[in-house]
Structure 1
Amino acid sequence: MYNVLIADDHAVVRYGLSTLVNKQPEFNVVDEAANGTETYLRVEQGDIDILIMDLSMPPGESGLITTKRIHDNFANVRILILSMHEEQEYINQALHNGAMSYVLKSSSDDELLKALRQLMNGQEYVDKNIKLTTDDLAKINTDGTAVNLDGYAGLSKRESEVLPLITLGYSNKEIAAELFISTKTVEAHKANIMQKLHLKNRAELIRYAIHNKLIDL
């Protein structure tokens, strides 16, 4: 039995996916998440074999960034992106960042189930409606589409989680409650983020995050 986490910002979508997946004898949906931060924190708790995740779960961290963070820190979790984004740029970068599968929301349930069974066997799967060219494969397998930000790459795991919450206007107390840390720790993370990214205030941080597609608004 494979434990599945479903991440999507729409409750009705999560319910539909949970119902479909739980009908399959090989899979069991153990939890749901509504944004990138919740998704990462739940994966961090353990017992997740497969993650089915949307790329756009505003407001908050970009799904592309969440994909990369989970792949970098929990490589055993098999990530299936289920997205409305059909643009090749999103597909290439999601696969480059560590997703093992990419399925379009416009596709049939059978396509999603086929992808799940491929993941169960440790195999990658791309929606039959997506055509990958030689150039696309080159981008996926090189650093050309990676998030290439020296300052951001230098952030710690917790600092990466604090960043989108700051941009969304969460107070120190709210960030502390969300991440189960103290307000003093939040303040220290904020100072480190600003120093590492060479930014002076929240307005500059918001521009930085939007420009580099670190968050969805």
Structure 2
Amino acid sequence: MKLYYSPGACSMGIHIILEELGKPYELSLVALKDGAQHKPDFLAVNPKSKVPALDRGDGKVLTEFPVIAWWLAKANPAAALIPADLEGEARCLELLDYVCGTIHPQAFTRQFRPGNYTLREEDFPKSVELGKANADKYFATLEKGWAGGTYLLPSGYSVADAALFFVEYWATRRSGLTLPPHLAAHLAAMLARPAVQRALTQEGLAL
């Protein structure tokens, strides 16, 4: 398998899942800051111009974080990275979608790329402010509905935790936000996991 990633991007969540699996894989750097996602070489891999993308090693490529996470979990059942029961799997997918489809774009892309949301440069600070307010609101929603213990789901650690981690990491390392209690404890637990530490070190990121 080969993961197309950019250091510190949402692809770090997939990187963590690959480390949790403990199977051989390669990393292929896509330097988003240099616009590598728009270059012909990467467009041939993923015409959507974004990471993560996963070459499964069978001549096929998967894109979109929730799908890659789900496929890795289902293809490696011994790792127990997704609940085995239908209800648990549905809740896991629900959380993946909320993180990747709502929290990521509406809270953090608004902060990091305000030009995606307004063409007027003078409005960029308002976009950043709204992004931070959204992050607080979405994290409060997760906090209120927290159903697990240390991890998101009552069944324990899953691919949903790898997704939540990347927005928690952005919140605390890049946005200066304070996480509510369950999420703060979750971040600490994630940072203590060897797979997370290995992935962050490989990407040159602070623990």
What TM-score bracket applies, with the shorter chain setting the length? 0.3 to 0.5
Q: 1 or 2, which has the higher helix percentage?
A: 2
- Normalising to structure 1: TM-score of the pair? 0.31
- Normalising to structure 2: TM-score of the pair? 0.32
Q: 1 or 2, which has the higher strand percentage?
A: 1
